[in-house]
Structure 1
Amino acid sequence: MADIHTYEGAPEAEFGDYVALLKPRVMSLVVFTAFVGLWIAPVHVHPFVAFCAVLFIALGGGASGALNMWYDADIDAVMRRTAGRPIPAGRVARPEALAVGLALSGLSVMMLGLVANWFAAGFLAFTIFFYAVVYTIWLKRSTPQNIVIGGAAGAFPPMIGWACATGGISLESVLMFALIFFWTPPHFWALALFMKEDYHKAGVPMLTVTHGRAATRRHIFAYTLVLAPFAIWLGLTSVGGAFYMAVSVLLNALFILGGWRILKRDEVAAEADGYGVEKRYFKLSLYYLFLHFLALLVQHWIGGGW
């Protein structure tokens, strides 16, 4: 792996550069799902404890982002989408990123154990390890199933939030995990459809690179069909209700329809319009996940579950 480090004459690292190491835009959705998992759990948590728990889960997520940027600095440097990140841009040295990631990992796990419980803290530690080692170091560069298996790391936060409140795992938290787990592949494969050349240049074996765009389109549609039953099943549990169910049915109908349009796209036409359909589907996928968890929060607030 190429050594990416600050170069002579590079601008001094600012506070914002270290914040950028934590991937705040990516982690914001992760933190939101963790908050929802904690707040809708059947055990009341004091608002201050809940705030601290979400804060330390966020720090743990940021630690994962820093460790990911440390290891992937060589890949980030050749991809147009990531070339401006702090390490490839020369503003933060790789050893600094590693130090930040390790320090925040230890701090977040220790503090979550003290403020919530040690089961949740151990879960957070496992999640950081899974994202940094299993996904970033092992899967990402070795298999086109990197996103499928590695996506579990992004699906654990609502389970961690739930565990902060209850000290354990339940069907509801497992289904929240499943919602994110099966959402992740079509979300990232849609991005890969219009960013294929970046992954090709970086040598990342995304499905678009190893199997082509046509196979990727088939996989996206298949996953929308697998995802929908889990999303709707969640609405039939103690955290669901009529409001959540209505939102989920509508969102899944739109997501399946979008997946069908992706499946039927002609590659020549897709290139001609700059992959507009794929980009809109990618944006829809962001709303899909956010609105599902927002619906869970609203359902909890209004009550009326089954």
Structure 2
Amino acid sequence: MSDLSLHETVSETPVEAQLGDYFALLKPRVMTLVVFTALVGMIVAPGSVHPFIGFVAILCIAVGGGASGALNMWWDADIDARMRRTAKRPIPGGRVEAGEALALGLALSGFSVVLLGLATNFLAAGLLAFTIFFYVVIYSIWLKRATPQNIVIGGAAGAFPPMIGWAVATGGISVESVLMFLLVFMWTPPHFWALALFVKSDYGDAGVPMLTETHGRRATRNHVLAYCLPLVVVALGLGVTPIGGWIYLATAVVMNIWFLKGCYEIWRRTEAQAEADNYKVEIRTFKISLYYLFAHFGALWIEAALRWGGL
């Protein structure tokens, strides 16, 4: 499929691209979470990483995450142009050509994977390559437009960075790194679906089968609680591994009680009740979810710092 046919809805008005437009292709807000969880995964792992090697590794992971974003925007330019939330992105806004985004994404993908392999080890590079492949091919191209569980599948790509960070430091995979993966993976659905319940989306018009569109809002509320329950188990389980500790466990208990309470309230409400108070519970629960991951990974970082200090 040619770029022209794929993106025929993109603006035809030529606009000169700025450096910021190319940076926007990399989805910098998403990259922030990628970098943070990868950095914590590397820091809490046993052993040590030379600061310069660590910097290069995090740079490669950030660039790889950005490459995924550029390739995702290239493929999704047609639906981005039909949704209010994304219509002003660089490609549908007519500031960047679809082919430019594709070339940038491919170049950055190759650069990040090869450099990470040379600087650290090939397991870390392989995980980064698989993450990019998973997000672009498995999620964006294959399943995003095919199943209402798309956000669950897409969440797996966002969950790999702490495993990559761990592999950078250890050259391997462990129970701890798998649990960090699961923490991000299980967090993504209730985080996103809480948002979907109070934000009027146009995914249906764009042909994207989001759960709220295909199964309704009652089913979405059920799914929010259904994914939150195993999330609590994973979060607390991480606390009894060697990278956990009393600070992490205390943080996890507080955050999970807070988040679970919000998800339970979302589940028990009817749509009429939510509309009557302007979705206050859904909005509050979504805001809690924004703090949730940073609190957990921040607590893991503190635990590692205490171990370094011999405390």
Taking structure 1 as the reference length, what is the TM-score of the superposition? 0.96
Of 7, 12, 24 in structure 1, the residue corresponding to residue 12 of structure 2 is: 7
Q: CA offsets, 1:165-211, max 9 Å, x none?
A: 11110000000001011111111111221235321121111111111
Of 231, 236, 244 in structure 1, the residue corresponding to residue 235 of structure 2 is: 231
Q: Name the SS of the counterpart of 2:202 in structure 1.
A: helix
> 2:84 — aligned with what?
80
1:164 and 2:185 correspond:
no
Cα deviation for residue 75 of structure 1 reads 1.3
Q: What CA distance in whole angstroms lies between the structure 2 residues aligned with 1:124 and 1:260?
A: 35
> 1:155 — aligned with what?
159
Instruction: Check the 8 A contact 2:74/2:102 in 1, yes or no.
Output: yes
Identify the range of structure 1 (142-151 vs 94-103) with the bigger mean alpha-carbon deviation: 142-151
Cα deviation for residue 78 of structure 1 reads 1.6
Q: What CA distance in whole angstroms lies between the structure 2 residues aligned with 1:234 and 1:25?
A: 26
Q: What CA distance in whole angstroms lies between the structure 2 residues aligned with 1:243 and 1:145?
A: 34
Q: CA offsets, 1:204-247, max 9 Å, x none?
A: 11111111001100110111111001101100001000000000
> 1:143 — aligned with what?
147
> 2:53 — aligned with what?
49
Instruction: Check the 8 A contact 2:194/2:282 in 1, yes or no.
Output: yes
Instruction: Check the 8 A contact 1:6/1:93 in 2, yes or no.
Output: no
> 2:278 — aligned with what?
274
Identify the range of structure 1 (197-206 vs 59-68) with the bigger mean alpha-carbon deviation: 197-206
Q: What CA distance in whole angstroms lies between the structure 1 residues aligned with 2:205 and 2:295?
A: 34
| Structure 2 unaligned spans of 5+ | 1-5
Q: 1:294 to 1:230 in 2, by over 3 A?
A: same
Q: CA offsets, 1:271-293, max 9 Å, x none?
A: 34432322221221111011110
> 1:286 — aligned with what?
290
Counterpart AA for 2:130: F
> 2:110 — aligned with what?
106
Cα deviation for residue 4 of structure 1 reads 4.9
Q: What CA distance in whole angstroms lies between the structure 1 residues aligned with 2:37 and 2:101?
A: 26
Q: What CA distance in whole angstroms lies between the structure 2 residues aligned with 1:305 and 1:202?
A: 55
> 2:192 — aligned with what?
188
Of all paired residues, the percent bearing the same amino acid is 66
Q: Give the 5 Å matches for 1:246-257.
A: 246-257=250-261
Q: What CA distance in whole angstroms lies between the structure 2 residues aligned with 1:103 and 1:71?
A: 16
Cα deviation for residue 268 of structure 1 reads 2.0
Instruction: Check the 8 A contact 2:10/2:81 in 1, yes or no.
Output: no
Identify the range of structure 1 (280-289 vs 55-64) with the bigger mean alpha-carbon deviation: 280-289
Cα deviation for residue 269 of structure 1 reads 3.0
**C-alpha RMSD of the superposition:** 1.6
Q: What CA distance in whole angstroms lies between the structure 2 residues aligned with 1:222 and 1:28?
A: 27
Q: CA offsets, 1:113-150, max 9 Å, x none?
A: 11111111011000000000000011110001111122
Counterpart AA for 2:105: G
| Structure 1 unaligned spans of 5+ | none
Taking structure 2 as the reference length, what is the TM-score of the superposition? 0.94
